Amino acid sequence: MNIKRVCVLYFSPTGGTEKIAHLVAENLSEKLNIECTFFDITQPKNRYNEYHFSEDDLVVMASPVYAGRLPNKLVPEYKAKIWGEGTPAVPICVFGNRSPDESLRELMILMEDNGFSIVGAAAFAGRHAFSDQIGAKRPDENDLDEIAAFTSKVVQKLTDNRKMFLKIDHSELGAYYTPLKEDGTPAKFLKARPYTDADRCIHCGLCVEKCPLESIDINTMETVGLCIKCQACVRCCPTHAKYFDDTDFLSHVAMLEKNYKRRAKNIMII
């Protein structure tokens, strides 16, 4: 293998996936002593064009986990826009301390179908977009050590040049995770969207700029299009004007805060 650059692509509405994607890619580029190129596909304008990679690239692709799978509204774009040509790749999923469930296998299959050869894959825990109490302070020192060990093994495989690629299980993927309320019954918040406190909003337009689906009206600051509950608008608002008041959504967040404070383990396949 003659890898000439490390390329990292990520979709990251609230920055957790971006942070881990950078750590993995920078570790790899340092160890391989080659340049690292970043492609942030969070904003729609960066998802208009296709991305094509060659066999001289090493591609790290990172996605957040939504309902135990890849974000379903993004999957068609991942499938249509990101192409390899026997390109070695490292799929990374970032989950909010509950579980990555089937997301990592979904990303491995998607990338293999699109012309990539999977060297190693990992799901790392990060802060949950819904609450600062879940996955707080991840990635921590332990995670940094695990990322360093994982990337060393990837580099070792690339330099050894043997038994390089993983054999991916292509069997049918499990269902999306059903979010639960505090009482253990399903939380139904598909139609929930954030509202704007008019007394707090200073019309800075940041939420409009950050929404990965361009769903926020620039005049009213209200969500008028599809909402994937990513929390980008809530977290970027400088005056905390954005809020969700959907009772099922809030009950799900309370359930997560009650049951998922323990430190979830990372998953590394190499």
Ligand X SMILES: Cc1cc2nc3c(=O)[nH]c(=O)nc-3n(C[C@H](O)[C@H](O)[C@H](O)COP(=O)(O)O)c2cc1C
Q: Which is nearer to ligand SF4, 53 or 66 (CB)?
A: 66
Contacting residues toward ligand SF4, per CB under 6 A: 13, 193-194, 196, 201-207, 211, 213, 215-216, 221, 223, 227-233, 236-237, 239, 241-242
Q: Which is nearer to ligand X, 29 or 97 (CB)?
A: 97
Q: Which is nearer to ligand SF4, 152 or 231 (CB)?
A: 231
Query: Which partner in ligand X, ligand SF4, none is near 124 (CB below 5 to 8 A by kind)?
Result: none
Query: Which partner in ligand X, ligand SF4, none is near 189 (CB below 5 to 8 A by kind)?
Result: none
Query: Which partner in ligand X, ligand SF4, none is near 54 (CB below 5 to 8 A by kind)?
Result: none
Contacting residues toward ligand X, per CB under 6 A: 12-18, 64-68, 94-99, 126-129, 177, 229-231
Query: Which partner in ligand SF4, ligand X, none is near 61 (CB below 5 to 8 A by kind)?
Result: none
Query: Which partner in ligand X, ligand SF4, none is near 206 (CB below 5 to 8 A by kind)?
Result: ligand SF4
Q: Which is nearer to ligand X, 14 or 87 (CB)?
A: 14
Give the Å distances, CA to CA, from 260 to 12, 71, 128: 22, 20, 10
Q: Which is nearer to ligand SF4, 164 or 204 (CB)?
A: 204
